[in-house]
Amino acid sequence: MLKAFFEENPKLALAFSGGVDSAYLLYAAVSFGADVKAYYVKTPFQPEFEYEDALRLAEQLGAEMVTIHLDVLSDDAITKNPKNRCYFCKKRIFTAILEQAKADGYSLIIDGTNASDDATDRPGMVALKELNVRSPLREAGLTKAEIRRLSKDAGLFTHDKPAYACLATRIPAGTPITAEKLSVTERNEGFLRSLGFADFRIRLMGTAAKLQIAEKELPLLFANRAVILQTLKNDYTEVLLDLEVR
C-alpha cells in the first residue's frame, strides 16, 4: 500500500517531527524512491531533544530536512489554550509548511497520522483535512504497533521511542500557555530523562507538578525520590504522583 502511494505521488513534502510515525514515513518515502523533503516546524512546544532526533534521522536516511521557525506564542487563539487548541496550532504549523513547501516546488503535504489515531479525539486532524494533508500510514491501515515493528526491521532508532505529545499538552485546557511554563516543563522533564526515565509526563496542576510515570518505571521513581523532590520543588509547590497511569 505504501509503495503504491509513493508510486502515485512521487514528489511530496513531509511534516516531520522525528517521532516513530513520521520517521518511518520518511524512511519509506526514501526507500521507494520518492522525491521527498522533510519539514520540521520548530516552536516552543517542542523540546530540543525532539529536534535533535529529527536531525539525526534525516541525516541517517540521507534526506533533506528544512527547519521552519514559528512563533506560536504570538497567537492568542493558541495561548488562551481552549479545548480545541490543537486545531489552531496544527492550522498554523501546517499552513507554514504548505507555504514553504510550495515555494520549494512541492504541492502535496503528508503527515504521520496512523490507523491507531482516534479522529474523534484529535482536533488537529480537522485542520489537516481542511488543508488537504494526506496521511499515507493511516490510508494504508498501518497501526502504531505495526509501524514500530516495521521500524525495528528497518533499523530505525525510533522504533521503541515512547510516544511524545508536545509540551503544551502538559498545561490544562483553559490555563494560559506562557514561555515560562513551557520552559519549566521542558527543564524538569529533561531532568527526569537524565535519570533514565523514558515514558512519563509532568503535568501542571495549579502550582503543583503531577507526575505520570509508566508502571515499569515506578521503581526508578522511588529509588530517586529524594533528588526528584529536591529538584522539582524549585519550580513547583508540590510533587504528586498519578497512580491511574499504566
User: Using alpha carbons only, what angle is made at residue 53 by residues 177 and 222, rounded to the nearest 5 degrees?
Assistant: 70
Confidence at residue 245, expressed as pLDDT on a 0 to 100 scale: 66
76 Cβ partners below 8 Å, 6+ apart? none
Q: Are strands 208-213 and 200-205 parallel, antiparallel or unpaired?
A: antiparallel
High-pLDDT (> 70) share of the chain, %: 98
Taking the domains of the chain in order of start, what are their residue ranges? Answer: 2-160, 178-241
Confidence at residue 124, expressed as pLDDT on a 0 to 100 scale: 80
Confidence at residue 201, expressed as pLDDT on a 0 to 100 scale: 96
Q: Tell me the fold of 178-241.
A: Alpha-Beta Plaits (3.30.70)
Q: Residue 216: how many CB atoms within 10 A of its CB?
A: 10
Q: How far is the C-alpha of 195 from the C-alpha of 224, rounded, in Å?
A: 8
Confidence at residue 120, expressed as pLDDT on a 0 to 100 scale: 60
Predicted confidence (pLDDT) at residue 223 exceeds the cutoff of 90: yes
Mean pLDDT, residues 214-223: 96
Predicted confidence (pLDDT) at residue 197 exceeds the cutoff of 90: yes
Q: How far is the C-alpha of 159 from the C-alpha of 118, rounded, in Å?
A: 21
Task: Convert the pLDDT of each residue in 145-194 to its tens digit.
Answer: 999 999 999 999 999 998 888 999 999 999 999 999 999 999 999 999 99
Q: Tell me the fold of 2-160.
A: Rossmann fold (3.40.50)
Q: pLDDT band at residue 246, thresholds of 50, 70 and 90?
A: low
Mean pLDDT, residues 73-90: 95
Q: pLDDT band at residue 121, thresholds of 50, 70 and 90?
A: low
Q: pLDDT band at residue 119, thresholds of 50, 70 and 90?
A: low
Half-sphere exposure of residue 41: CA atoms within 13 angstroms, side-chain side: 23
Check if the beta carbon of residue 29 is closer than 8 Å to that of residue 36: yes
Confidence at residue 125, expressed as pLDDT on a 0 to 100 scale: 84
Q: pLDDT band at residue 108, thresholds of 50, 70 and 90?
A: very high
Confidence at residue 114, expressed as pLDDT on a 0 to 100 scale: 92
